Amino acid sequence: MYGTISDVCTRESCPTMCGGSRYEYLWQDGLEYKKPTRLPAPQYMQLLMDWIEVRINDESIFPSSTNVSFPKDFRQICKKILTRLFRVFVHVYIHHFDRIRELGAEPHANTLYKHFYFFVTEYGMVSTKELEALKDMTERLLEPSNRRAPIPSANAFRQ
């Protein structure tokens, strides 16, 4: 989803990884960024994708052999991955939804988000507090009468 808007999400246009004025996301990976650090949105998202790739390719976390058990903290690792991915949705929907719409990608983005939302809520993978950032939009998307109705302009979600 980020790739769709990467041409308009730049260090200049998005100097912090945020979702409106209420949500700012700091990067911390325990290695290069030991303390929570404010970063431009594109840098945060690139670090996030790299961080996720390392974990997914780590056989001790995601074993490819059926003879190897998943780690005891597997659920916590997945929760962290999914929470951070949710923050990408927050940023894209709040700051770049007009671009998604301009590209004709709104139905795809909404379907992707709904699948993600249903999964993380069904399995309790992202906290209710974290989900608050897109609560109003999510409610509109999930209303039976509005399932085919377009979402209002992204400006309606800026806070």
Binding-site annotation, residues for Zn(2+): 9, 14, 91, 96
- Pick out the residues of the known binding site: 9, 14, 91, 96
- What span, in angstroms and rounded, lies between the C-alpha atoms of 10 and 7? 7
End-to-end CA distance of the chain: 22
What are the residue ranges of helices labelled H in 38-132? 41-56, 74-102, 106-122, 128-131
Answer whether 93's CB lies under 8 Å from 134's CB: yes
Alpha-carbon distances of 2 from 34, 56, 70, rounded to whole Å: 25, 19, 29
- What span, in angstroms and rounded, lies between the C-alpha atoms of 9 and 83? 20
